[in-house]
Structure 1
Amino acid sequence: MRIRVFDARDADAVIALWRRVFPEYADPAKPQRDPRVSIANKLATQPELFFVGVVDGRVIGTIMAGYDGHRGWLYSLAVDETARGNGYGRALVQHAESELAKRGCPKVNLQILASKADVQAFYAKLGYHADEVVSFGKRLQSAPASASA
């Protein structure tokens, strides 16, 4: 697998992958989960930290990272179901961690849906553990009209 920065030409492949891997993207009660909006927002903020994994010219994985000067974050790790078990997810995480470390990032955080025990186990194998925190969230705005497109 070759890991590189996302290119706009990858959008359709990434959206198709995310819709397969993240069933919550189909939940109309979560308009913030529109993959086109997620991509547009990432391209507007640290686009150099949006990576795709490519095998034989096909996007089989993604990961997004962010760094605010205090903590790094990982988002949208996805590996195509047919490509799992080959170390691609681990490689994508390690690549994102490396890029964050180059920026001086001291710690990486991520959030996992409580119902996703398999994802929690994956990250535990990579050295991640649950922090003693409670995650709060607040929607600042409703999804833009383009989110339904």
Structure 2
Amino acid sequence: MTFAIQRLAPEDYDEAYALWERTPGMHLHSLNNTYGGISSIIENNPFTCFKAIDEGGHLIATALGATDGRKGYLYHVAVDESHRGQGIGSALIKRVLDTLKARGITTIGLFVAKNYPPAKEFWLKQHFKERHDVEYLDIDL
């Protein structure tokens, strides 16, 4: 299967959101995943947000990279179920990590849903390490 990696644009939101809705463990309602929220990530990180498309130009995967200038983060890494196991997710992750590294970022973090163990297994296979020294807290404003 052939695929191409391209920059993700705000105009891709509807197709990307549909992918995220069908991807287990995404927790779309726990953060600002509106068009405005996702557009803000893309606009503030235009060189680190990517999509994969198939031969027909359909969006089949996403990986959003972001940075605060000190540390990088991965968000919304998802591959359409019918295209998994072909290295698409790994290729997107590599693109994000390489781009962040070229910008001087040397540590990348991500959030994994506790109620979906296959996600954690995937990230451990990608050489991410579990941290036991921090807990995540947040507040809705």
Pair in the same fold by TM > 0.5? yes
Whole-angstrom distance in 1 between the partners of 2:11 and 2:96 = 21
Change (3 A) 1:68 1:24: closer
Whole-angstrom distance in 2 between the partners of 1:7 and 1:111 = 22
Q: How many residues align?
A: 137
Q: CA deviation at 1:138?
A: 2.1
Moved over 6 A (4+): none
Whole-angstrom distance in 2 between the partners of 1:49 and 1:2 = 15
CA contact (8 A) 2:74 2:108 kept: yes
State the Cα deviation string for residues 112-146 of structure 1 (Å, max 9, x = none).
011221111111111111023223222252xxxxx
Q: Kindly, what percent of the aligned residue pairs are identical? A: 26
For 2:27, what is the secondary structure of its paired residue?
helix
Match of 1:38 in 2: 37
Match of 2:49 in 1: 50
Match of 1:113 in 2: 113
For 2:111, what is the secondary structure of its paired residue?
coil
Whole-angstrom distance in 2 between the partners of 1:14 and 1:116 = 20
Structure 1: unaligned runs, 5 residues or longer: 142-149
Structure 2: unaligned runs, 5 residues or longer: none
- State the TM-score, normalized to the length of structure 2: 0.86
Match of 1:144 in 2: none
For 1:133, what is the secondary structure of its paired residue?
coil
For 2:65, what is the secondary structure of its paired residue?
strand
Match of 2:23 in 1: 21
Match of 2:82 in 1: 82
Of the three residues 5, 8, 17, the one matched with 2:7 is 5
